[in-house]
Amino acid sequence: MLSHLKPHLKTVTRIRKRNAHLDWGAIHARWGAVVSAAKDHMADVQSGKAVRRRIRQGAEAIIRLDERVEVSKIVDHVIAIVLLQDSDPRRFRSDAAFNAQLVRVLRKLDRDNAAAWFNHGDGKAHRAYVELSPSASRFISSLIAPALGPVGLHIAHLERAKSENERKSKDAAWAVIEQMSV
């Protein structure tokens, strides 16, 4: 999945550079609201309140991600996966599949989410990312998607408009070329 995100991550990097004058801190604050909600859930856990396991696992995963990965990297990956979905809507079979991949992509940013082992048979070290339960993944995406999804959707809209304008200018150039005579 990360290889499919590379062109979209380049797009996000280009947009960040082009809009360096904007207050990206306001967008990063939306991630801060997600982390704050996760910390509220963990406070409930620590106070002895009954909290569902999926909520506790999801909140722990969000807090761990926030502690170990830069906010800008998290935001960029969320925007990139929204751009991926917008560019190829059939890539994800459903919203649930999109949300699951969103959580997977974000969890892969933290290498500590992977288990490692050495296979003596082939003499190689292997890594595999440990999956959260589907319900914990749904909880995480239910916090992240409303907070950062609209940012990605807006950027996707801008990218579509840009490509449409480029297409129209090429079409106009071809129309002039076709009218030429020798």
Q: Quote the percentage of the chain above a pLDDT of 70.
A: 97
180 pLDDT higher than 80: no
Q: Please compute the mean of the pLDDT values over residues 106-134 and round it to a whole number.
A: 86
Confidence of residue 91 (pLDDT cuts 50, 70, 90): confident
Q: Is the pLDDT of residue 173 over 80?
A: no
4: confidence class by pLDDT, cuts 50, 70, 90: confident
Computed over every residue of the chain, the mean pLDDT equals 88
**Residue 155, Cα to own-chain centre: how many angstroms?**
13
Q: What's this model's pTM, rounded to 2 decimal places? A: 0.82
- What is the 3-class SS of the chain, one letter each residue? CHHHHHHHHHHHHHHHHHCCCCCHHHHHHHHHHHHHHHHHHHHHHHCCCCCCHHHHHHHHHHHHHHHHCCHHHHHHHHHHHHHHHHHCHHHCCCHHHHHHHHHHHHHCCCHHHEEEEEECCCCEEEEEECCCCHHHHHHHHHHHHHHHHHHHHHHHHHHHHHHHHHHHHHHHHHHHHHHCCC
What is the pLDDT, as a whole number, of residue 130? 81
Q: What spatial distance separates the first Cα and last Cα of the chain, rounded to whole Å?
A: 50
**pLDDT tier, 30 (very low <50, low <70, confident <90, very high otherwise):** very high
Please determine, for residue 175, whether its predicted confidence score (pLDDT) is greater than 90: no
* pLDDT confidence of residue 182: 63
**pLDDT at 40 (0 to 100):** 95
What is the CB neighbour count within 10 angstroms for residue 84?
24
CB neighbours of 74 closer than 8 A, spacing ≥ 6? 31, 65, 66, 106, 109
Q: Say how far apart CA 81 and CA 179 lie, in whole Å.
A: 42
Convert the pLDDT of each residue in 33-81 to its tens digit. Answer: 999 999 999 999 999 998 899 999 999 999 999 999 999 999 999 999 9
